[in-house]
């Protein structure tokens, strides 16, 4: 399939980001269908239940990162231009996930997870949909999430091992691209640089969204084209914004 892999460049792209308030311009449905977002959220909540079953395996850092990803997915549902039952409590789920990310112990995490599950089940206390993407997941955790999903995508693309779940990692990265767009580097704040940053970020999001679709459809040509496009955009961004 793809002879040259580009996700290391994606990591470099993420490495040059900082956080300032902003809001992504893309329609959420162009990033991921709401059904895919809900399915990923449900899967991640089950993962939390499994991971928290043994208190001795609790790790604060990995818990915080996973919770941040969950919060980003919930925010995407909350702002989606499509409809689903979860949309009514998605903002509450986002807030509950952010609290889960603050847990300092397995006991704290289990307690916070109950609030996450309640929101997933439809309980809402009226949390506001509006929220700054830059406050959902910090740069370090964004990078680690890309690194975590990189080998899984690489395996799929190199060995052509697509299955029903192949697109999920690309879907998550596409959503995280919305947070990336919100965060132009602090030392690159003039109008032209900010616009360039936003365009690179949108290319990142679009590329992973298209890759997700291609992987699910098992279209090898589109998989290669989407993956290559993401890599080129990431490399160009790194060249322009590297320290």
Q: 68-105: per-residue pLDDT in tens?
A: 999 999 999 999 999 999 999 999 999 999 999 999 99
CATH 1.20.120.10 domain locations along the chain: 7-21+133-241
Cα separation, 231 vs 11, in Å, equals 10
Per-residue pLDDT band at 11 (split at 50, 70, 90): very low
Distances (CA, A) of 4 to 9, 138, 166, 183, 196: 11, 29, 19, 28, 25
Question: pLDDT over 70 for what percent of the chain?
Answer: 83
Per-residue pLDDT band at 152 (split at 50, 70, 90): confident
Q: Residue 112 corresponds to which tokens in the numbers above?
A: 């916070």
pLDDT of residue 128: 97
151, 33, 53, 47: which is closest to 106 by C-alpha?
Answer: 53
Q: Residue 129 corresponds to which tokens in the numbers above?
A: 């949909």
Distances (CA, A) of 112 to 9, 27, 55, 73: 35, 30, 14, 17
pLDDT of residue 85: 98
Domain spanning 7-21+133-241 has what CATH number? 1.20.120.10
Cα separation, 29 vs 7, in Å, equals 24
Per-residue pLDDT band at 7 (split at 50, 70, 90): very low
Chain segment 112-147, per-residue pLDDT in tens: 999 999 999 999 999 999 999 989 987 778 778 877
């Amino acid at each position: 399939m793809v002879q040259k892999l580009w996700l290391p460049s994606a990591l470099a792209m993420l490495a040059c980001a900082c956080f300032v308030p902003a809001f992504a311009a893309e329609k959420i449905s162009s990033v991921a269908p709401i059904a895919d977002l809900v399915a990923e959220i449900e899967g991640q909540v089950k993962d939390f239940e499994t991971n928290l079953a043994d208190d001795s395996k609790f790790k604060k850092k990995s818990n915080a990162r996973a919770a941040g990803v969950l919060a980003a997915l919930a925010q995407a549902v909350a702002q989606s231009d499509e409809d689903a039952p979860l949309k009514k409590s998605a903002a509450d789920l986002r807030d509950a996930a952010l609290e889960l990310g603050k847990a300092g112990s397995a006991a704290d995490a289990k307690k916070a997870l109950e609030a996450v599950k309640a929101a997933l089940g439809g309980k809402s206390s009226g949390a506001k949909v509006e929220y700054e993407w830059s406050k959902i997941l910090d740069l370090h955790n964004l990078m680690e999430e890309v690194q975590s999903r990189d080998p899984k995508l690489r395996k799929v693309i190199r060995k052509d091992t697509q299955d029903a779940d192949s697109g999920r990692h690309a879907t998550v990265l596409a959503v995280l691209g919305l947070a990336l767009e919100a965060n132009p580097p602090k030392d690159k704040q003039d109008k032209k640089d900010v616009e360039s940053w936003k365009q690179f970020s949108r290319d990142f999001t679009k590329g992973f969204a298209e890759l997700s679709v291609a992987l699910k459809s098992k279209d090898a040509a589109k998989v290669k084209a989407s993956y290559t496009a993401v890599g080129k955009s990431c490399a160009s961004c790194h060249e322009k914004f590297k320290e």
